[in-house]
């Protein structure tokens, strides 16, 4: 093994470890469970558990935990030691099949959106054998699903797994109808590019807004932002380089293929892209990646920020969700091949995605809705809140021909001539990239760019899988039993394109014109989370989820409630943090300095100084007023009944009052001497590392 590969996955109970540590009949039966979803026998589980325990203790583990993903969006764990009393004052190391399969964390403090009362505390975690167990911080972590005593799902993994199964079922039906009977299953694959900011820890700790909310609630722009484009793909600074190097080592040990790292557009902003994998694993790995990033940064005196918009005026962070579907044999169903216009199977799956995204625009919008992501979507830098698909000229032309019945003649592939002998000439791609589209076809996958950098990717992928499964099930109904399934498929493609082509937009999504055109096309434009979330409980979406067996109606309602509550809570924390900083830090400084300037101006009587001191005085008066306005709004908010109305109130009144307060505080910052300003400025934060 090479120097880089020898430690890869050493902390993972992966296929290699299983083959080494398990008797071959047990290994086979576990593999069957993993691949075919067969139920696991308790005797098998006992043997697996024991082997895991021995393996983990050998690697220094002392505890085990069921690792799960409650609706908070982050991961949870409760550690138990392997040690158990032997009865004679000594201890034995114990970890049984039962411990592996099932856990019972108290569920009462996790959000349930009214699904259960607090006294109904029992919750269960159930082993997900399709995601490998791993060791982190001397603890054997077992990826699990999480549900309540009554069987309601309380996590993000279970719906994702269900959507994966249902997508497979429906895609297989379509493939079988096309004569592809050798295909037994279909899996979604995801590669989530993670954007983040790196700050100096000391600077971070000096700002309560960053500590409590993950973003700056105040801050005048630095003289320099990202306008020179000199950070994007630029040379990585030594401290960041060291961070990335340690991060890679940690991730590789956990079997996570961290592949690409580069600087992003904003100063201090970076990106990490892993190699894609089966979506369930990609979701687990992304959660784990964020956790490890935070820890490694901390060890190096840095802080890693995942907030979607930590700084006003420079780009925010997203999580580009690259998504495709493939057969169990590894054939990517979204690969156009060399003759896409003749590739009916590809065009059919492509049409299914187009149909799904158009039919369920609102749902997709909800899946990425959060208070923090609102600052990013539509901010003229990130994809707008309007969902549309970028297909590129070639595929659009092909589908136009399918619709009109005209013959398609492929465009000639152009050669790129560099005009320099020593540089190679190369073939150009058939279409350019589009960086502004929220949902872009990028060669053999779709890149869903609206997902926020701090969000779990589970919701977005669960939504995509479910929508697609529904459309494929309709396609399968039309295909099954047809004598000429290919001709039937061509008709489906034609109809789908005719009915749903309004969702396709190959132009600039950031332009104002697009917003108008999208409205004319009847596309939905849910600007804020408060507007978007209630759409989740629309009849159509509830019908989709219940028909596909993903959620019950009660579960949909509860998720709505949780998301809205979360929105209100986040804004409340932000508003309170602002008030605290404004009253205790900003006001005293501005008041003292204003008085000082007034005295000086009175003494020296220079007109410019008098002007200046008057200006400061009016800023100070505004500060008082706007603090009051925000305080009143914050006080009123909880009195608004119904969570959806309360969310609207936060959006309209609280958020506006916050914006107004920030405006005047930032104006003050520009007048106060730098050594007097109570916290690190944008210049320090963004250029300090
Ligand atoms: P970029 O969009 O920056 O050019 P890449 O083409 O390298 O990036 O891919 C970005 C991400 O997409 C990576 O995480 C990569 O593993 C993932 N990816 C590539 N192919 C697929 C696929 N077929 N399905 C899902 N994700 C994919
Ligand atoms: Mg990309």
Q: Which of 140, 136, 132, 127 is nearest to 54 (CA)?
A: 140
Angle at the Cα of 275 from the Cα atoms of 270 and 279, rounded to 5 degrees: 105
Q: Is the CB of 402 under 6 A from ligand 1?
A: no
CA distance 15 to 35: 12
The ligand 1 atom at the shortest distance from the C-alpha of residue 335 is: 23
Q: Which residues contact 318 (CB under 8 A, 6 or more apart)?
A: 195, 308, 376, 382, 449, 450, 451, 452, 453
Q: Is the CB of 163 under 6 A from ligand 1?
A: no
Provide the residues around ligand 2 (an ion) whose CB is within 5 A: 320
What is the Cα 123 distance to its own chain's centre?
26
- pLDDT value at residue 148: 81
Q: Is the CB of 445 under 6 A from ligand 1?
A: yes
CA distance 588 to 581: 10
* 247-286: burial string, b at 16+ Cβ within 10 Å, e else: bbebbbbbbbebeebebbbbbbbbbbbbebbbbbbbbbbb
Q: Is the CB of 272 under 6 A from ligand 1?
A: no
**Beta carbons of 523 and 515 less than 8 angstroms apart:** no
**Which ligand has the shortest distance to the CA of 326?**
1
**Which ligand has the shortest distance to the CA of 330?**
1
Residue 114 carries which DSSP code? T
The rounded Å distance from CA 322 to ligand 1 centre is 6
- pLDDT value at residue 414: 60
**Beta carbons of 153 and 555 less than 8 angstroms apart:** yes
Q: Is the CB of 322 under 6 A from ligand 1?
A: yes
What is the Cα 154 distance to its own chain's centre?
18
Length of the chain: 689
- pLDDT value at residue 412: 65
The rounded Å distance from CA 147 to ligand 1 centre is 32
The rounded Å distance from CA 237 to ligand 2 centre is 22
CA torsion 158-161-167-168 (nearest 10°) is: -150
Q: Is the CB of 187 under 6 A from ligand 1?
A: no
Q: Which of 15, 41, 46, 20 is nearest to 29 (CA)?
A: 41
**Beta carbons of 167 and 325 less than 8 angstroms apart:** yes
DSSP structure string for 86-109: -SSS-EEE---HHHHHEE--B-TT
The rounded Å distance from CA 322 to ligand 2 centre is 7
Give average pLDDT by consecutive 10-residue segment, the chain, 689 residues: 80 94 93 80 91 95 92 84 87 89 79 66 85 94 87 88 96 98 96 96 98 98 78 81 94 90 85 95 96 96 97 93 96 96 96 98 97 87 87 94 91 62 59 81 96 97 98 98 96 97 94 92 95 96 97 93 95 98 98 97 95 96 98 97 96 97 97 95 92
Q: Is the CB of 195 under 6 A from ligand 1?
A: no
**In 83-228, beta strands by DSSP E:** 83-85, 91-93, 102-103, 123-127, 134-136, 139-148, 186-200
The angle that helices 485-500 and 344-359 make with each other, rounded to 10 degrees, is 30
What is the Cα 569 distance to its own chain's centre?
20
- pLDDT value at residue 419: 64
What 3-state DSSP class applies to 277?
A: strand
Q: Is the CB of 274 under 6 A from ligand 1?
A: yes
The rounded Å distance from CA 320 to ligand 2 centre is 6
- pLDDT value at residue 201: 97
Q: Which residue's CA lies nearest to atom 17 of ligand 1?
A: 191
Q: Which residues contact 424 (CB under 8 A, 6 or more apart)?
A: 418
State which of 257, 286, 445 you would mutate to test the pocket of ligand 1, scoring each by most atoms of that ligand within 8 A of its C-beta: 445
CA distance 286 to 96: 29
Q: Is the CB of 33 under 6 A from ligand 1?
A: no
Q: Which residues contact 201 (CB under 8 A, 6 or more apart)?
A: 297, 298, 301, 302, 303
Does the pTM surpass 0.75? The reply is yes
Tokens (6 digits) for 128: 């997900």
Residue 484: C-alpha distances to residues 57, 392, 425, 569 (Å): 59, 30, 44, 56
Tokens (6 digits) for 372: 């923090």
- pLDDT value at residue 415: 60
The rounded Å distance from CA 318 to ligand 1 centre is 15
């Amino acid at each position: 093994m090479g120097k880089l590969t020898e430690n890869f996955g050493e902390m993972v109970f992966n296929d290699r470890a299983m083959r080494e540590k398990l008797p071959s009949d047990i290994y086979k039966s576990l593999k069957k469970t993993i691949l075919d979803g067969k139920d696991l026998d308790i005797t098998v589980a006992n043997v697996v558990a024991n082997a895991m325990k021995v393996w983990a203790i050998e690697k220094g583990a002392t505890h085990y935990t069921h690792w799960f993903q409650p609706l908070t969006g982050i991961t949870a764990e409760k550690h138990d030691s392997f040690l158990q009393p032997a009865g004679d004052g000594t201890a034995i190391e114990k970890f049984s099949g039962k411990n592996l399969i099932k856990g019972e964390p108290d569920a009462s403090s996790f959000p349930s959106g009214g699904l259960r009362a607090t006294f109904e505390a029992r919750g269960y975690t159930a082993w997900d054998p399709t995601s490998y167990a791993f060791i982190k911080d001397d603890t054997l972590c077992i990826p699990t699903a999480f549900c309540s005593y009554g069987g309601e799902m309380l996590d993000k993994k279970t719906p994702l797994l269900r959507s994966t199964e249902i997508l497979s079922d429906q895609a297989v039906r379509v493939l079988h109808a096309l004569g592809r009977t050798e295909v037994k299953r279909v899996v979604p694959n995801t590669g989530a590019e993670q954007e983040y900011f790196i700050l100096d820890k000391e600077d971070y700790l000096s700002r309560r807004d960053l500590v409590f909310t993950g973003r700056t609630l105040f801050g005048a722009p630095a003289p320099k932002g990202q306008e020179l484009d000199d950070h994007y793909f630029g040379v990585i600074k030594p401290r960041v380089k060291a961070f990335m190097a340690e991060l890679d080592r940690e991730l590789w040990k956990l079997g996570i293929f961290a592949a690409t790292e580069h600087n992003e557009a904003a100063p201090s902003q970076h990106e990490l892209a892993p190699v894609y994998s089966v979506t369930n694993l990609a979701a687990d790995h992304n959660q784990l990646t964020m956790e490890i990033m935070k820890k490694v940064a901390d060890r190096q005196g840095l802080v890693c920020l995942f907030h979607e918009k930590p700084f006003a005026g420079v780009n925010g962070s997203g999580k580009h969700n690259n998504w495709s579907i493939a057969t169990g044999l590894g054939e990517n169903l979204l690969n156009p091949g060399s003759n896409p216009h003749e590739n009916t199977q590809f065009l059919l799956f492509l049409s299914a995605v187009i149909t799904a995204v158009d039919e369920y625009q609102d749902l997709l919008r909800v899946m990425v809705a959060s208070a923090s992501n609102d600052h990013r979507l539509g901010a003229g830098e990130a994809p707008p809140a309007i969902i549309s698909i970028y297909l590129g000229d070639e595929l659009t032309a092909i589908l136009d021909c399918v619709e009109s019945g005209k013959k398609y003649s492929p465009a000639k592939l152009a050669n790129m001539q560099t005009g320099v002998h020593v540089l190679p000439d190369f073939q150009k791609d058939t279409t350019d990239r589009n960086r502004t589209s929220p949902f872009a076809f990028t060669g053999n996958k779709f890149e869903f760019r609206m997902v926020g950098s701090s969000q779990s990717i589970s919701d977005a992928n669960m939504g995509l899988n479910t929508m697609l499964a529904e459309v494929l099930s309709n396609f399968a109904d039309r295909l099954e039993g047809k004598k000429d399934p290919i001709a039937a498929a061509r008709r489906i493609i034609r109809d789908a394109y005719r009915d749903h082509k309004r969702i396709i937009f190959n132009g600039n999504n950031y332009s104002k014109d697009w917003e108008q055109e999208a409205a004319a096309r009847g596309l939905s434009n849910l600007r804020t989370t408060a507007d978007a979330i209630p759409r989740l409980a629309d009849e159509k979406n509830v019908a989709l989820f219940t028909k596909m067996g993903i959620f019950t109606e009660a579960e949909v309602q509860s998720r709505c409630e949780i998301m809205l509550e979360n929105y209100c809570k986040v804004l409340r924390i932000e508003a309170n943090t602002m008030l605290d900083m404004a009253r205790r830090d900003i006001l005293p400084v501005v008041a003292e300095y204003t008085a000082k300037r007034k005295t000086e101006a009175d003494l020296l009587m220079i007109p410019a100084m008098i002007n200046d001191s008057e200006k400061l005085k009016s800023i100070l008066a505004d500060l008082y007023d706007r603090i009051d306005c925000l305080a009143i709004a914050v006080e009123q908010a909880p009195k608004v009944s119904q969570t959806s109305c309360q969310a609207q109130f936060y959006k309209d009144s609280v958020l506006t009052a916050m914006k107004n307060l920030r405006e005047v505080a930032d104006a003050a910052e520009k007048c106060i001497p730098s050594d007097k300003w109570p916290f690190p400025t944008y210049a320090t934060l963004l250029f300090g590392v």
